[in-house]
Structure 1
């Protein structure tokens, strides 16, 4: 646990969109830079499914963050100018209240007794933190991947709370392909005999289910072009191959295995299930009489930057265009950037140069 991590106690009870509430809940967050006297230089970052609030290194925690190249003095999100807040999503086990937390009512771990989680709950929790810091309006709200959907929820639920918006590789609703992939990931976890209906422990843990779920994710986070370029059909050396029928033979198989092994015990399986399903449920059409564009047009911001990648199969470019068109129709001045990065959905974590140019340029103009 980093020393930079701070905690905000949510109002209690904290009502959840789909019913139920949380008592004594909190969210973890980190900050960079300083809030100015006018309190109008705050930038909030909402993350993808698995990252923590540690987006970048700081004095309290010098370890590299998940968006290290993007955030800091003189970088695209320049902390000499901006007071930056990154929130760990409600429902995530990186410090925020989640299914792995203790239920104060029972003294037991929530597990599947955690209330149904929506991305609107994630948004409302983040907004409560922002308000507690004395910030009436964010200078900019940045949402990446799942966090981009949470950001749309934030803006539609809290009119006037955001001046400008940066939408990064996200969607106004989950499309069938994304839902299908996440459904398979959840199924892999639930069908692992060690999941035990959510009642796993350190001795009996759904390692295999989480490993398969992570591999599926990694496959869809990158593009076929990226896989071809990195691995082609290169085979493992004989001594690297598994001594069993149908064992790993290709380098790409070994890569996925090592990637999964690094992830498996670092993220709570039940939290993964809850956040994954919340992503499927999110739909801006709910705010527009069943129409996504009408829902988007309920969002009021002055300016927006919408970035997408042509190789993203999880959140395809058409969905970024839809967000840009909706915000523009609502009166925002919108810049749309379509990148050709080969890295697919993960490009915003990898292609820092091109994303920095777009994000840094936009922030310099607001």
Structure 2
């Protein structure tokens, strides 16, 4: 099947999509990582929609957040009632218009959603890597994505787009491969984690590693550390919300009870909600992958990597147009971090647009339908695209 298929469109949906994989870095030509280790073979899962135009200038790469995957839009079957995680944003006439753009979304290196990660089989042992998997960085993820772009024949991206950890990858693309990125859209992200963000990630990692079933990362032949991973997800989920959103959604309402239970059941609706989120997460995600991806996010530091501690210097080699979007209730990556980023870009004479969007839903606001967000995105991506 062609790499550049045109998926069926159903109304405003991209219609049916297909998960694909690309494998590269087969030994002895293994991929060299920032930590000094080598890794190979490496497989990336990805999905596409739209069509690559004749001069291959309309490709957009979408980069997902921590626990996301390549399934950004559309459905796998006609009866599938669960579309991709950004289906409201990607499709014909939507913010990211698949009638105009060839859209690519890839699962990141180190994940467990089709790409090579700690749950993958180590070809030298025939068993899952576990903690023998090398520590990967955001730069490693981007280097792997570059290999996929080369495979697809996309040598310059009309845009790289990402929110949260995906925004870190978009930033990395813009400074690591400046000649290959025409524009970048950065949503609810930062050039480096604050102490607060690192602290929450560390508590979540400790929850996993404190589970006896984690077994030093070697649990694939037995019971998995579901309790530790569930608690880690609960911790993370709190950071994705806001005080206002939790007040509106839950308040102090009790869970199917007229009074307190006077035990340690889930008395409050918010307790029940968090437990539910934790239980759901363990069914689809790998505990070790959570450790590796959060560590990669904590290590990410654009100023240290490219600017010797200076945000201005970090963007000195960038060439892209930038759209930076923050959300008023995001306390994980608050607006002041976006403003610092924008200031550094402008001091380099870069073309930068910035908008703080009023939203009560916290960090996860970029994942929720918003007419304003879609309109801003579409205007930025299509405004100078005359294809």
Please classify the TM superposition score into its range, dividing by the shorter chain length.
over 0.9
Aligned counterpart, 1:337: 355
CA distance in 1, matches of 2:348, 2:310: 14
Q: Residue 96 and residue 33 in structure 1: after superposition, are their counterparts in 2 closer, same or farther (change >3 A)?
A: same
Size of the aligned set, in residue pairs, is 363
SS in 2 for 1:318: helix
- The alpha carbon displacement at 1:245 in A equals 2.3
CA contact (8 A) 2:131 2:217 kept: yes
Q: 1:200 aligns with which of 192, 215, 219?
A: 219
CA contact (8 A) 1:45 1:86 kept: yes
* TM-score (norm. length: structure 1): 0.95
CA contact (8 A) 1:19 1:115 kept: no
Aligned counterpart, 2:157: 138
Mapping of 1:306-325 within 5 angstroms?
306-325=324-343
Aligned counterpart, 1:260: 278
CA contact (8 A) 2:157 2:182 kept: yes
Give yes or no for the alignment of 1:33 onto 2:50: yes
Q: 1:7 aligns with which of 12, 21, 24?
A: 21
String of CA shifts for 1:206-252, please: whole Å, max 9, x gaps: 111111111111111010010011111111223898x7722211111
Aligned counterpart, 1:349: 367
CA distance in 1, matches of 2:100, 2:84: 20
Mapping of 1:89-238 within 5 angstroms?
89-201=108-220, 203-238=222-257
- The alpha carbon displacement at 1:258 in A equals 1.1
Give yes or no for the alignment of 1:74 onto 2:93: yes
Aligned counterpart, 2:64: 47
String of CA shifts for 1:96-154, please: whole Å, max 9, x gaps: 00000011122221000001110101111111111221111100110111011112112
Aligned CA-pair RMSD: 1.8
Consecutive unaligned residues of structure 1, counting only runs of 5 or more, are none
CA contact (8 A) 2:188 2:366 kept: yes
Q: Residue 100 and residue 244 in structure 1: after superposition, are their counterparts in 2 closer, same or farther (change >3 A)?
A: farther
SS in 2 for 1:68: coil
- The alpha carbon displacement at 1:32 in A equals 0.5
Aligned counterpart, 2:6: none
Aligned counterpart, 2:293: 275
SS in 1 for 2:354: strand
* TM-score (norm. length: structure 2): 0.90
- The alpha carbon displacement at 1:4 in A equals 0.7
- The alpha carbon displacement at 1:19 in A equals 1.4
Aligned counterpart, 2:3: none
CA contact (8 A) 1:152 1:172 kept: yes
Aligned counterpart, 1:248: 266
CA distance in 2, matches of 1:240, 1:122: 50
Q: Residue 346 and residue 356 in structure 1: after superposition, are their counterparts in 2 closer, same or farther (change >3 A)?
A: same
CA distance in 2, matches of 1:325, 1:103: 44
Consecutive unaligned residues of structure 2, counting only runs of 5 or more, are 1-15
